[in-house]
Amino acid sequence: MTFVLCFATETANPISQKFLRTGNLIAYLGGVVFDSSTFEVREMFDWGVSEVLSDRVAIANFYYKDNLPFINALERYSYSECISKLRAVMRRNSVSVMGAYNITFDKQALQDTCFRFDVPFILDDYQLIDLYSMSCDMLRGSENYRTFCVENDRVSAAGNISANAESVYAYLNNKPTFEEAHTALADAKIESNIYANCLKYQKETGRLLTTVPNNSCWRWIQASKRKER
């Protein structure tokens, strides 16, 4: 029995970025813990980071400003408290796997925020899964997915089929008009659904999907090659 944490971060940019690799600090984070065998949800959370949410410059640079009323209603904790609570969630659920869509970004945001506020958190203690690479591998050359995206305006101006979590979730759940809320817990729920679908695919096909981050994984779904069941 393996318990997985699918997590998402929403970030903002402070005035001084000299101590950061990416310029991103976590404004709030959310997650879903579930059993990878039964897909039963064990726990969910959504926490604001008080130091970042009280930084006027950081919030002024926050991309999803429309979400500020939601963010202001979140329970807020210091970043140290958030990490302590995160450790507690993972400990009581015996979490051994952490997954995120484009986990490279979320991992770096965690590391940057830990560095900024001098809070230790060792990600090497867990198996890290990139759901972006995993889902693109599952949909590699999928004619059905390509058709879905073309018919539902999920194609970039350059003509590339969308590979983001919103489009993948919309396809897997037959929700053509679905739009992400872009809040941490809502995103984590989407990602846990994508991960569950990837696990089901592996079980049905016997094909293991890649879990390693790959910046070019979006290319795997551009051409229709695979004959589908």
Does the pLDDT at position 68 exceed 80? Answer: no
One-character DSSP codes across 13-82 = --S--TT-SSS-EEEEEEEEEEETTT--EEEEEEEEEHHHHT-HHHHHT-S-GGGHHHHHTS-EE-HHHH
pLDDT band at 66 (very low <50, low <70, confident <90, very high): confident
pLDDT value, residue 19: 46
For 102-147, the pLDDT digits (tens) are 999 999 899 889 988 999 887 878 999 999 999 999 999 999 999 9
Q: For the whole model, what pTM was predicted?
A: 0.90
Q: Give residue 226's pLDDT band: very low, low, confident or very high (50, 70, 90).
A: low
Which of 73, 89, 66, 60 is closest to 28 using CA atoms?
Answer: 73
Residue 17 has pLDDT above 70, yes or no: no
Whether 94 shows a pLDDT value over 90: the answer reads yes
Q: Considering the chain, what is the average pLDDT of its residues?
A: 89
What integer pLDDT is reported at residue 72 of this predicted model? 74
What pLDDT, in 10s, does the model give residues 159-170? 999 999 999 999
Reduced to 3 states, what is the DSSP secondary structure of residue 156? coil
